[in-house]
Structure 1
Amino acid sequence: MSINTTPHLNFRGDARAALEFYQSVFGGSLAVVTYADGHNVTDPAEADQIMWGQVTSDEGFRVMAYDVPAHTAYEPGVIPLFVSVRSTDAEEISRYWKRLADGSTVVVPLAEAAWAPLYGMVRDRFGVTWVFDVEVAWSAS
């Protein structure tokens, strides 16, 4: 078992451009899932925006990003990032979730999602938003 923590940057329509830029700077591979890919479209105009994206390099660079959908409040610089906690082990994610959620505000309960066996979001007592999920290999099919 092991977990990874990764900066998870929030954008409004610029996530793909930002990730492509970071990849040009740090190298590595780019992976993106659009809202259409994830079967999570709430506004057809946003279907091709990034629901989840990541750049990883062999040297250890890792950053995630997504496009905040229009139905969600977004003020650049106010909530510029999440801390993403990922593992391939559901029990491990659940254990950390339970500890961090105690005394925090649950934004999205930890539960099965269309894109992950477990996904949840919590804002801790310090105002930091954490995203937890069980990492799986992604296939658009």
Structure 2
Amino acid sequence: MPILNTYLNFPGTTEEAFNFYKSVFGGEFSFIQRFKDTPEGADMPEAEKEKIMHVGLPIGNGGSLMATDVVPSQGFSLTPGNNYNLCISAESEEEAEKLFNGLSAGGTIAVPLAKASWGSYFGMFNDKFGISWMINYDY
């Protein structure tokens, strides 16, 4: 059974927001990575390198609140309505493909499902109803 998580986009304030959420929900970050620590980080402007590429905060029974900073060099601009994604954590590569292909039918694929630099099988799209989705399988 896949796990559904919420993935938020922030305009450079992810670290501040997630320290706040951690103070409310408790617990520890399950993962935190800055853009400087990614393969793409070497080519980014200095002002963006310390921004958050990915952070996860476990909440409840198996779910997570996750986020990233939207940085201009990545070609994505933040507007109301694109500041969230529903993220499904699949249990297998096959399940990820089934969910990605099914939910993206008639929609617009932003990132094709493929092995990502952080070691997951990952893809993003907007479904035919305009909802933003991420499908992720951790190897």
Q: Classify the TM-score, shorter chain.
A: 0.7 to 0.9
What's the offset of the Cα at 1:60?
A: 5.5
Q: Structure 1 residues 99-108 or 112-121, which shifts more?
A: 112-121
Residue from 105, 120, 126 that aligns with 2:129: 126
What SS class does the counterpart of residue 64 from structure 1 fall into? strand
Aligned length: 134
What's the offset of the Cα at 1:61?
A: 5.8
What's the offset of the Cα at 1:78?
A: 2.9
Alpha-carbon separation, structure 1, partners of 2:5 and 2:119: 17
Note the residue ranges of structure 2 that are not aligned, 5 or more in a row.
none
What residue is the counterpart of 2:25 in the other structure?
26
- TM-score by length of structure 2 reads 0.86
Note the residue ranges of structure 1 that are not aligned, 5 or more in a row.
137-141
Which runs of structure 1 show a deviation greater than 3 angstroms over 4 or more consecutive aligned residues? 57-61
Contact 2:35 2:53 in 1 (8 A): yes
Alpha-carbon separation, structure 2, partners of 1:25 and 1:120: 30
Greater share of residues in helix: 2
Distance 1:69 1:133, change over 3 A: same
What's the offset of the Cα at 1:117?
A: 3.3
What SS class does the counterpart of residue 17 from structure 1 fall into? helix
| In the alignment, structure 1 residue 113 sits paired with structure 2 residue 116 | yes
1:1-141 alignment runs, 5 A limit: 2-30=1-29, 31-41=31-41, 42-57=44-59, 62-70=64-72, 71-75=75-79, 77-136=80-139
Q: State the percentage of identical aligned residues.
A: 29
- TM-score by length of structure 1 reads 0.85
